[in-house]
Amino acid sequence: MAEILYDEVPSLDLADFVSGTEEQKHAFVAKLGEAYTNIGFVSIKNHGLSDELTEHLYETVEEFFRLPDDVKEVYEKKELAGQRGYISKGREKAKGRNTGDLKEFFHVGQPKENQREDYPDNIWPNEVPALEKYTSEAYLTLLRTAIHMLRAIALYLELPENYFDEKVKEGNSILRPIHYFPIEDPDAIPPDAVRAAEHGDINLITLLMGASADGLQVLRRDGKWIPITALPDQIVVNVGDMLERHTNGKLKSTIHRVVNPPPELMHTSRFSIPFFMHPVSEMDLSCLEGCIDGEHPKAFEDITAGEFLDERLREIGLKA
């Protein structure tokens, strides 16, 4: 099959899969599979997030990041390898780079009702009590949406529709409010420093609601970077490295980045809130037999999700 070079990310309606006719459901699965085998990204509407929740969430996130650095750093627990709470400016770097990204972020994991004993507790800032309410609500909404997306992916892979359900319901997924902080003096930062250097996501799939400013770009197979902007009623959903491994490269974890704004806007902030869908740590990420054949020999060693996450956390500087 000839590769498709998209000029923009394909848009799909999740309602076609969740509540549409059998014909609409099949069409959604086919279009999703086509996009994920070519560019690894789609935009989705009818994703479950209300405008009201999104607005409250961003207001609360911005309130937290406006706190002084020394107050935020009270909620940074480095022994957790960045898995919960605050992660300070420049601490994370893309795999293969020595320069930290120009961002700070806050990690929220499973709410208590889904939390396993081996997961660390969430950390909540006393100064912004609403952060727990709105991030937890968004977390559970995006978790439900992600399960629907994985069911569609399972059908495309000719697996049982519920193949991923038990692997992810109590998975170590993360909601990550990000602040790409203002740069008042560009000469004071390393010359190669960017908001988020080119990378692939670690997890199965990532769900990203619209950011507060442009900057996200995706690397197309021909080497061209194309801008990604979610419409107000859509979220962007992309394939992560775990799913690429599990499908032996059939589904693409596409390299993406967040570029710096033009010089006249370097003093402004950018906010973004991705949801990283992780399975339980014991999930076997070995290549699926149905994705291996003579033209596509097994490309990845066997590994569990927990082992892969641990490996990548060390590579990006969050774990010693």
Write the DSSP string, 228-267: ----TTEEEEEE-HHHHHHTTTSS----EEEPPPPGGGTT
320 domain-assigned: no
Are the beta carbons of 207 and 237 closer than 8 angstroms? yes
191 domain-assigned: yes
The per-residue pLDDT for range 124-180, each reduced to its tens digit, is 999 999 999 999 999 999 999 999 999 999 999 999 999 999 999 899 999 999 999
3 domain-assigned: no
The structure tokens 């442009």 sit at 214
Count of residues in the chain: 320
2 domain-assigned: no
Whose CA is closest to 105, among 132, 86, 91, 128? 86
- Mean pLDDT per 10-residue interval, the chain, length 320 residues: 76 97 98 95 95 96 98 96 94 90 96 81 97 96 97 98 95 96 90 93 94 86 86 91 97 94 92 96 97 96 95 86
CATH of the domain at 304: 2.60.120.330
The structure tokens 């605050």 sit at 86
4 domain-assigned: no
Whose CA is closest to 34, among 16, 11, 58? 11
Are the beta carbons of 194 and 259 closer than 8 angstroms? yes
pLDDT of the residue at 2: 59
Domain that holds residue 215: 11-315
How many structural domains are present in the chain?
Answer: 1
1 domain-assigned: no
The structure tokens 């961002």 sit at 103
6 domain-assigned: no
Whose CA is closest to 202, among 108, 282, 306, 80? 306
The per-residue pLDDT for range 217-239, each reduced to its tens digit, is 999 888 999 998 777 789 999 99
For residue 140, give Cα distances in angstroms to 63, 91, 110, 134, 214.
Answer: 22, 27, 8, 10, 26
Q: Residue 281 carries which DSSP code? A: T
Query: For the chain, where are the E strands, in sequence order?
Result: 11-13, 41-45, 85-87, 104-107, 174-175, 178-180, 196-199, 205-209, 216-219, 225-227, 234-239, 256-258, 270-272, 274-277
Q: How far apart are CA 108 and CA 105, in angstroms?
A: 10
Element (H, E) at 49: none
pLDDT of the residue at 214: 86
241 domain-assigned: yes
